[in-house]
Amino acid sequence: MKTTSLALSKRLKELGVKQESMFYWNILNGKPELEGGRAIYETDGKRFGKEVISYSAFLAEELGELLPEMIDKDNDLYWFIIERYNKKFKKWVLSYKGLWGKRLKVVVSESLSEGMALMVIYLKEQNLI
C-alpha cells in the first residue's frame, strides 16, 4: 500500500481536507515518521513531552471517496476516469473527461494515491469540491 507523500499530505491539510486516514505522517523533533493508527494530535499533540504535528497519509481508496464521480462546469459534464497504462509505462492517468473527449484536468502519476491527491488538490483549488 502506498500513501501520499508528506508534501502532498501537508497541502491536503492546508486545503481543509478532513484528517481521517489509516496512516499518518507524525513529525517529532523535525523528523517525519509514517505510522498506522490514529494521529498523535488527536490525543494530546505531544509524545514524550514534545510537540507532534500530524498529517493524514492517505491511501488511494481514502482519496477516491473525496472525488466526485461527475463535475458540472460551464454547462459541461465531466466524468472521473482512471486509466492504467501497460507495465512498461507504469503510469496512472486520472482525468475528468467530457462527452466529446475534452478533459477538464489530467494527472499522470506512478502512484495512484499521489495521483488522487493531486486531483483532490486541483479540485479544491478550483473550488470544484
Q: What is the mean pLDDT of residues 32-54?
A: 69
Domain ranges of the chain: 6-58, 63-125
How far, in Å, are 52, 55, 84 from residue 36 at the CA level?
A: 15, 12, 28
Sign of CA pseudo-dihedral 128, 15, 12, 55: negative
Task: Write down the pLDDT at residue 87.
Answer: 72
39: pLDDT strictly greater than 60 = no
The model's pLDDT over 47-68, given as tens digits with 9 standing for 90+, comes to 666 778 899 999 999 999 999 9
The model's pLDDT over 77-127, given as tens digits with 9 standing for 90+, comes to 999 999 998 777 789 999 999 988 899 999 999 999 999 999 999 999 999
Q: Cα(25)–Cα(36) distance, rounded to whole angstroms?
A: 9
